Structure 1
Amino acid sequence: MELGASSTVLGSRSVNPADRNPNAGSNDYQTFLKMMTTQMQNQDPLNPMDSAEFAVQLATFSSVEQQTRTNELLATMQSQFGMMGMAQMAGWVGSEARAEMPARVTAGATLDLAPNPLIQADRVVMVVKDEDGTVVNRVDLPADTTQLDWTPVDVTGAPLPDGIYSFLLENYEGETKLTDSPVETWSRIKEVRGGANGMTLVLENEAEVSVASVTALRE
């Protein structure tokens, strides 16, 4: 299982709070105060700087310093939450996930599909495409089909060659096509990955899907 390697990659991208100087912000602030004090001591007594200007400088620097510390705290919390999520989702590896994604066709094996027909549809057609996007079959289904064990065949009834195929559902009301809706498939989870766009799952069917797109899990 490659989860450990993925966790390491995620960890290397995060910022370790221990590497930061906890007194960096305080040192900068003290330096600013010393500079301001020196400036006040050495100003022209005949043309002194307006005290309001000093107050504005002090308030501005204080605000920037506070925002910097807030950003650092949020970055630390995000890193910690990301690692917690990765650890929790390690248990998903080896399970099967259902999502809108292509499916791998293997000779002699049926596919467990989950169409999502529209409620107002009275006729639905499952469209099957190969990796090149060519339509290899159109299958009429009952309008209330939500679970389907399908034997992969082409429009002539011949078995489909092994490979990756995608599915969508055309919804009709009478002769009027309403819109397409997804057909979800199952695949076993090989790996959990973390990244800038959140956590994703790497599946045996060569697909990579976001965790948020998963609608069901099973052993």
Structure 2
Amino acid sequence: MDVASTTSATGAAAAQASRSASTVLSSDFETFIKMLTVQMENQDPLNPMESTEFATQLATFSGVEQQVKSNDLLAALSAQMSLMGVSQLSGWIGMEGRAVAPVVFEGAPVRLTIAGDSLADRHELVVRDSLGTEVQRLAVSGDREEIAWLGTDASGTVLAPGTYDVTVESFSGAEVVASTPVEVHGRIIEARIDAGQTILVMENGQEVGAASLLGLRLPRPDQ
């Protein structure tokens, strides 16, 4: 079911609920008036009820009626806002996102944006596995650039599928002066709201929070 049909169905359901609530309120009000009329007809003529008592009862019922209507309106607005959020998320599907996150490697090259400290003497791309073991280290320019990381170790052997921590270490002499995490690129295939947070799923299965997204663009023709 697409977003448009979902929106229509939910809107119809909200309208139906509102109509049902209005019907119930109308029925309850008629019942209340009948009860009030019977109460007036059967009151003690020697000790009649004060007119203010009737006014108070009417005001109380009217207040409850208005509160119920307000609650129905708020529920309908909440449903519409939720649908708007889903509709906006659908526009992200198929886009290429860029975010700072651990690199999920599934055997295919992963596009990364890397950069080092501009004041450092040299820079190295360092890759560590999920246990923190260094599996690759290679020299890079330090300039901000987009590369295709092949996912190989120092001997050129393709690494096992998994999650890797990839950073650019910048050196001044022998001292590391900065460690900059890489930015991961990936085509977005799913966007969902989980516990109030927007989660984006990329084509390799990697999940990133929308809050950590740094860029969004149309995929290039060669991808």
Output the CA distance in 1 between the equivalents of 2:192 and 2:7: 8
Residues 145 and 29 of structure 1, relative CA distance in 2, 3 Å threshold: farther
Bigger RCO of structures 1 and 2 (CA < 8 A, at least 6 apart): 1
**For residues 155-211 of structure 1, what are the alpha-carbon distances to aligned partners after superposition, in whole Å with 9 as ceiling and x for unaligned?**
x56656242315387999x99x99x98754222111334567365433223234444
1:167 to 165, 170, 191: 165
Residues 42 and 82 of structure 1, relative CA distance in 2, 3 Å threshold: same
Residues 128 and 79 of structure 1, relative CA distance in 2, 3 Å threshold: farther
What's the counterpart of residue 16 of structure 1? 13
Q: Which residues of structure 1 form unaligned runs of 5+?
A: 119-123
2:132 to 130, 135, 145: 135
**For residues 39-66 of structure 1, what are the alpha-carbon distances to aligned partners after superposition, in whole Å with 9 as ceiling and x for unaligned?**
34434453747835861x4444333332
CA contact (8 A) 2:189 2:201 kept: yes
CA contact (8 A) 1:169 1:182 kept: yes
CA contact (8 A) 1:189 1:204 kept: yes
2:203 matched to 1:197?
no
CA contact (8 A) 2:114 2:182 kept: yes
Output the CA distance in 2 between the equivalents of 1:72 and 1:200: 30
Letter of the aligned partner of 1:207 in structure 2? Q
Letter of the aligned partner of 1:161 in structure 2? L
Letter of the aligned partner of 2:216 in structure 1? L
Letter of the aligned partner of 1:16 in structure 2? A
What's the counterpart of residue 214 of structure 1? 213
- How many residue pairs get aligned? The number is 210
Letter of the aligned partner of 1:164 in structure 2? G
Output the CA distance in 2 between the equivalents of 1:42 and 1:141: 98
**For residues 81-132 of structure 1, what are the alpha-carbon distances to aligned partners after superposition, in whole Å with 9 as ceiling and x for unaligned?**
33344344433222211234443324462441467x99xxxxx9988554xx
Letter of the aligned partner of 1:167 in structure 2? D
Aligned-residue offset at 1:29 = 3.2
Residues 196 and 141 of structure 1, relative CA distance in 2, 3 Å threshold: same
Percent identity of paired positions between Structure 1 and Structure 2: 31
Which structure: larger Rg? Answer: 2
RMSD of aligned alpha carbons: 5.0
Aligned-residue offset at 1:16 = 0.9
Q: Which residues of structure 2 form unaligned runs of 5+?
A: 118-122
What's the counterpart of residue 81 of structure 1? 81
